[in-house]
Amino acid sequence: MPARPRIPNPQEGPLQEFAYDLRELGVGNVSVVWIAEHEDTRVSRAALYAALSGTRLPKAETVSTLLRWWVGDPTLERSDQEDYLDTWDWIDRLPRDHEKRRFAIAWRTRYQRLARDLLFEREFRPRAPQVVIDVPPEQQRFIRELNDLIGKTGLEDELWLLLGTYTPRVERYLAGESIPTNDTCWLLAHRLADFIPDSRIDDLGTRLMRSAEVARLARVRDRRIARKGRTSGTEAVTE
């Protein structure tokens, strides 16, 4: 099972404040694990936990899933539709004048404003200088782990049978060109578990997710080191 996220400090910024308040909504309500395992949920447990960490802006579907159970009330939703197709459809299915509907709309607006503001800041933030780094040892370990799991399926020479349309993406992971997101790690776990005897999706997903997270942090570290070295070199030339 994924580790619980650290408690964000609401004083660090609007993203951390949003995540902190979202965590507070969950107190006394159904757990993240319960939500993740519910048949209506289409978001991974890892993504739900990540939304409570305040480290990055979660996707709308992730926030909506938590709010549906912590702000709304599925027992009050109209049953004229069996499934909700749009991210926020469940709000429209609540009674029009009910307090929970108004509360849910307020939280949806808050999230949308946060997303707008963060994307605006990102658009106008100066880009960091481009640097080229080698594949860090931590990412190499992730590649070995993924290769090992693929090898256990016996389909390493027939990736399309194992991964279908995700094959090109996985080939980039194995080549060290990119690292999967937490959601993709759980998707891979589902596919691998179908072909690895006596395997559990939770175990595979957690293993891949943690290894990928370490690999991402290593790339951030090595880029930072490379940028500092590049800046120092430039200053030395101009002196």
- pLDDT-based confidence at residue 200 (cuts at 50, 70, 90): confident
Judgement on whether residues 118 and 26 belong to the same structural domain of the protein: yes
Q: Which residue has the higher pLDDT, 164 or 238?
A: 164
Judgement on whether residues 111 and 165 belong to the same structural domain of the protein: no
Judgement on whether residues 147 and 119 belong to the same structural domain of the protein: no
The least confident of 8-12, 20-24, 75-79, 128-132 is 128-132
- Considering 124, 155, 175, which residue would you say is the last residue of a domain? 124
Does the residue 3 lie in any domain?
Answer: no
Judgement on whether residues 70 and 151 belong to the same structural domain of the protein: no
Mean pLDDT of the chain: 85
pLDDT computed for residue 3 by the predictor: 47
Q: At what angle do helices 182-193 and 137-153 cross, to 10 degrees?
A: 30
Q: What is the 3-state secondary structure (H, E, C) of the chain?
A: CCCCCCCCCHHHCHHHHHHHHHHHHHCCCCCHHHHHHCCCCCCCHHHHHHCCCCCCCCCHHHHHHHHHHHCCCHHHCCCCCCCCCCCCHHHHCCCCCCHHHHHHHHHHHHHHHHHHHHHHHHHHCCCCCCCCCCCCHHHHHHHHHHHHHHHHHCCCCCHHHHHHHHHHHHHHHHCCCCCCCHHHHHHHHHHHHCCCCCCCHHHHHHHHHHHHHHHHHHHHHHHHHHHHHHHHHHHHHHC
Question: What digits encode the pLDDT tens for the residues 109-163?
Answer: 999 999 998 887 766 666 666 778 899 999 999 999 999 999 999 988 888 888 8
Domain count for the chain, please give it: 2
pLDDT computed for residue 232 by the predictor: 47
CA 179/CA 44 separation, integer angstroms: 17
Question: Per-residue pLDDT for 75 more than 60?
Answer: yes
What is residue 7's DSSP assignment?
Answer: P
Judgement on whether residues 113 and 156 belong to the same structural domain of the protein: no
pLDDT computed for residue 238 by the predictor: 25
Does the residue 4 lie in any domain?
Answer: no
Judgement on whether residues 39 and 92 belong to the same structural domain of the protein: yes
Judgement on whether residues 105 and 184 belong to the same structural domain of the protein: no
Expressed as residue numbers, the domain containing 221 is: 137-238
Does the residue 42 lie in any domain?
Answer: yes
- Considering 100, 124, 148, which residue would you say is the last residue of a domain? 124
pLDDT computed for residue 56 by the predictor: 87
Judgement on whether residues 114 and 159 belong to the same structural domain of the protein: no
Does the residue 169 lie in any domain?
Answer: yes
Question: Per-residue pLDDT for 4 more than 60?
Answer: no
- pLDDT-based confidence at residue 235 (cuts at 50, 70, 90): very low
Judgement on whether residues 88 and 148 belong to the same structural domain of the protein: no
Average pLDDT, integer, range 201-216: 89
Question: Per-residue pLDDT for 71 more than 80?
Answer: yes
Question: What digits encode the pLDDT tens for the residues 83-98?
Answer: 555 789 999 999 988 8
Does the residue 182 lie in any domain?
Answer: yes
Judgement on whether residues 105 and 183 belong to the same structural domain of the protein: no
Does the residue 132 lie in any domain?
Answer: no
pLDDT computed for residue 80 by the predictor: 62
Does the residue 129 lie in any domain?
Answer: no
- pLDDT-based confidence at residue 182 (cuts at 50, 70, 90): confident
